[in-house]
Amino acid sequence: MAIIAPDIGIDLGTSNTLVHVRKKGVQINEPTLLIVTGSEKRTIKAIGQDALALVGRTSAGDVAIRPLQDGTVKDFDLTEIILRYFIRKAIGVSHLVKPRVYITVPSRISPVEKRVIREAAASAGARKNAIHLIDKPFASALGSGLPVFEPEGSMVVDIGGGTTEVAVIALGGIVLSRSIPHGGIKMDNVIIDLIKHEHNMLIGDRMAEDIKIDWGSALPSSDERKVVVRGRDLITGLPQTAEIASSRFYAALQEPCQKILDTIREILDKTPPELCSDILRKGIFLVGGGSQLYGLDRFLASELNLPITLAKDPMMTAVNGVGTMAEHSELLQKLIRSNFLRDDNA
């Protein structure tokens, strides 16, 4: 039995949670999802991967819950439960000294929300005075190997499930950032709305996500296809199928793509000229699962006239960043010196 638990890095995402354990690498990569039954006294039926496997197959009274919404904690108790479950699954329970934990948070998080995450992590098994909140775009930049501690500016755009964060990073911290509650889940929702309005049909979240991944596009295509979609008729409630032209998905996804573009433009406008010239030279780094929407990198490149680099493994960059922190304890001192963690443990 190890007496001291290893340092761990957690990317607590709206859609997925990943845990990196020092010297072992990423040990957990599961949906941030629980199946819960009962309303007053809730019982947890399944967590993470097991919960996802049950979606659509649950009995009456069961609900699938994502305890985070738009990147922030919506349900404190379930966040604590899911964190405890993942921490135990990653490192076990047999340590006398609890682990130091680096955990990602949205950059627009309020002091109250920070306290909520810190308390959830502490009651989930993290060492109380060793919980370090790391801004997601910073974690992603570090995890992508960008020169985050140099005076040079880098721009990271993280399109997650619940949020899109646009940030300029230099000298060990975030120079400026903007976070909008538009990510992959909003993209799924525009597909659900499209099918509701044009076909009077309701489709499930997973079907919408599959359509987005298989047929969604940020660019118009010359190769029009007919996609067969299964759902439930809104009036009769009966199962129904519809044939939808793939270009309709492109049309619906224009709005979320445009919102991401507008946010990048806004941040570029506000970026100090020296850092801006670094960004114009190096381009923008796209990370997060939503950045894999077909053609999104080319759409942004042509609209902004800037080089866009899509990360090799875009859903892993943030956990790789907090994982790097967990592997190299000297980086914590560097962050504290750069005043980046000034209000940590507040």
Ligand X SMILES: Nc1ncnc2c1ncn2[C@@H]1O[C@H](COP(=O)(O)OP(=O)(O)OP(=O)(O)O)[C@@H](O)[C@H]1O
Residue 290 touching ligand X (CB under 6 A) = yes
Residue 331 touching ligand X (CB under 6 A) = no
Report in angstroms how near the CB of residue 51 gets to ligand X at its nearest.
14
Residue of 183, 231, 256, 323 that binds ligand X (CB under 6 A): 183
User: Scanning residues 120 to 139, which ones bind ligand X (CB under 6 A)?
Assistant: 136
Report in angstroms how near the CB of residue 11 gets to Mg ion at its nearest.
6
Total number of residues that touch ligand X (CB under 6 A): 22
φ/ψ (deg, to 5) at 93:
-120, -5
Residue of 140, 144, 154, 163 that binds ligand X (CB under 6 A): 163
- The residue range among 62-70, 75-83, 153-161, 197-205 that interacts with Mg ion, by the rule CB under 5 A, is 153-161
Residue 67 touching ligand X (CB under 6 A) = no
The number of beta carbons lying within 10 Å of the beta carbon of residue 308 is 20
Under 8 Å between Cβ of 318 and 143? yes
**Can you read off the two tokens belonging to residue 315?**
């859903």
Report in angstroms how near the CB of residue 41 gets to ligand X at its nearest.
29
Q: Which does 315 bind (CB under 5 to 8 A by kind): Mg ion, ligand X, none?
A: ligand X
Q: How many Å apart are CA 261 and CA 218, to the nearest integer?
A: 11
Residue 209 touching ligand X (CB under 6 A) = yes
Residue owning tokens 């009995």: 59
Residue of 9, 13, 153, 231 that binds Mg ion (CB under 5 A): 13
- The residue range among 11-19, 168-176, 209-217, 227-235 that interacts with Mg ion, by the rule CB under 5 A, is 11-19
Judged by beta carbon, residue 13 or residue 48, the one nearer Mg ion is 13
Residue of 153, 162, 231, 256 that binds ligand X (CB under 6 A): 162
**Can you read off the two tokens belonging to residue 233?**
């008729």
**Closest to 105 (Cα-Cα) out of 62, 126, 138, 136:** 136
- The residue range among 160-168, 208-216, 264-272, 302-310 that interacts with Mg ion, by the rule CB under 5 A, is 160-168
Residue 52 touching ligand X (CB under 6 A) = no
Q: Which does 260 bind (CB under 5 to 8 A by kind): ligand X, Mg ion, none?
A: none
Q: How many Å apart are CA 302 and CA 196, to the nearest integer?
A: 32
User: Scanning residues 229 to 268, which ones bind ligand X (CB under 6 A)?
Assistant: none
φ/ψ (deg, to 5) at 282:
-90, -25
Under 8 Å between Cβ of 231 and 207? yes
Judged by beta carbon, residue 213 or residue 276, the one nearer ligand X is 213
What DSSP letter does each residue of 176-188 carry, written as one string? EEEEES-SHHHHH
Q: How many Å apart are CA 338 and CA 172, to the nearest integer?
A: 6
User: Scanning residues 3 to 32, which ones bind ligand X (CB under 6 A)?
Assistant: 13-16
Under 8 Å between Cβ of 230 and 240? yes
DSSP 8-state symbol, 140: H
Report in angstroms how near the CB of residue 187 gets to ligand X at its nearest.
7
What DSSP letter does each residue of 246-307 carry, written as one string? HHHHHHHHHHHHHHHHHHHHHHHHHS-HHHHHHHHHH-EEEESGGGGSTTHHHHHHHHHTS-
Write out the residues near ligand X by the rule CB under 6 A.
13-16, 71, 136, 160-163, 183-185, 209, 212-213, 288-290, 292-293, 315
